[in-house]
Amino acid sequence: MRHILGIFMDYLSQYFKTRLAYRTDFLGELVSYFIFELINLVFIIVVFQHVPLLNDWTREEIIFIYGFFLIPYAVFTMFFGFWDFNEKYIIRGEMDRVLTRPLHNLAQICLESIAPDRIFGVFTGLIIMGYAAIRLDLSFAWYDPFLFVGLVISSVLIYAGVYTSISAISFFSDSRTGIAPMIWNIQNYGRYPVDVYNKIIRFILTWILPFAFVGVYPAAYFLRKEVWYTYAMLTPVMGIIFFSIGLLVWNWGVRKYRGAGS
């Protein structure tokens, strides 16, 4: 772990040296990311101008869930940049290079795709949650910040497990995109209350592609929605289970991988 952390710091240093060489471009990317999230927030606000309640969920509660949803996603995208995995590592043969090095192959890929600028998504999410919490007049216990950190980490593990499994499919396919774009669209359903969906979608978002655990379930705890407390407390369990599944599928795919020329 100490060795990986040391390499992480080296990658982080090189990343900022590269990005800050073009400061205007770097700043423009941050601004565009912020505007993108702001547009999504405005969309929610506009919709709730006409629909004040969504199955007993208020506009401010939906905004709070959306703010929480942004935080684990920002942390995940900071460390797990799997969007071009097929193209870069399988089709171009970069995986062969990765497998010749002593550091674990998944750790290498995460370090090579690190994007520290994504951390601004955490600040955006916190600001949105803070705004909604003030409007809702929420109160928090002294231990809630610790639970918040634990739930965020657990949500990140769920993201990591799902997308690691999906990326591992690339070891058996030469498709340039795979199914990651479709899963990305599905994950956005996790930022809305699951009880607005039918039973099939609710089951999928809870137990198959558990994106409800990266948004609505953990956020429901801080909104004092007692009916969802059990699901909120299951978030760490789901994080461990799905990340373990992701690692197993990934290692299985690596063992089956035969190189770019095969």
Residue 262 lies in a domain: no
Burial environment of residue 160 by CB neighbours within 10 A (0 to 12, 13 to 18, 19 or more): buried
| Lowest mean pLDDT, pick from 70-74, 152-156, 183-187, 200-204 | 183-187
State how far the Cα of 88 lies from the Cα of 251, in Å rounded to an integer. 19
Q: Which residues contact 198 (CB under 8 A, 6 or more apart)?
A: none
pLDDT top residue among 256 and 20: 256
Residue 261 lies in a domain: no
Residue 77 lies in a domain: yes
Residue 20 lies in a domain: yes
Number of structural domains (the chain) is 1
Burial environment of residue 43 by CB neighbours within 10 A (0 to 12, 13 to 18, 19 or more): exposed
Crossing angle of the two packed helices 59-79 and 144-168, in degrees rounded to 10 = 60
Report in angstroms the alpha-carbon separations of 251 from 23, 95, 125.
38, 13, 33
Has residue 50 got a pLDDT over 70?
no
Measured in whole angstroms, the distance separating CA 106 from the mean position of its chain's CA atoms is 17
Residue 29 lies in a domain: yes
Has residue 262 got a pLDDT over 60?
no
Q: What is the pLDDT of residue 42?
A: 77
User: By the 8 A CB rule, do 55 and 192 touch?
Assistant: no
Residue 118 lies in a domain: yes
With the C-alpha atoms ordered 115, 117, 122, 124, is the resulting torsion angle positive or negative?
negative
Report angle CA 26, 28, 32 to the nearest 5 degrees.
120
With the C-alpha atoms ordered 112, 159, 153, 103, is the resulting torsion angle positive or negative?
negative
Q: Could you tell me the residue range of the domain that residue 114 belongs to?
A: 2-256
Q: What is the mean pLDDT of residues 130-144?
A: 93
Q: What is the pLDDT of residue 47?
A: 66
Report in angstroms the alpha-carbon separations of 33 from 10, 28, 159.
25, 9, 20
Has residue 116 got a pLDDT over 90?
no
Q: What is the mean pLDDT of residues 236-243?
A: 97
Report which secondary-structure segment, H or E, holds 58. strand 57-58
Has residue 53 got a pLDDT over 70?
no
- Residue that is written with structure tokens 């590592």 in the block: 89
Has residue 14 got a pLDDT over 70?
yes
pTM of the model: 0.87
Q: What is the mean pLDDT of residues 233-237?
A: 96
pLDDT category of residue 52 using cuts at 50, 70 and 90: low
Residue 112 lies in a domain: yes
| Lowest mean pLDDT, pick from 47-51, 54-58, 165-169, 243-247 | 47-51
Of residues 203, 37, 52, 47, the one with CA closest to residue 129: 37
| Lowest mean pLDDT, pick from 16-20, 132-136, 158-162, 233-237 | 16-20
Has residue 217 got a pLDDT over 70?
yes
Structure tokens at 178: 């795979």
Residue 63 lies in a domain: yes
pLDDT top residue among 256 and 6: 256
Measured in whole angstroms, the distance separating CA 18 from the mean position of its chain's CA atoms is 25
Average pLDDT, the chain: 85
Q: What is the pLDDT of residue 113?
A: 82
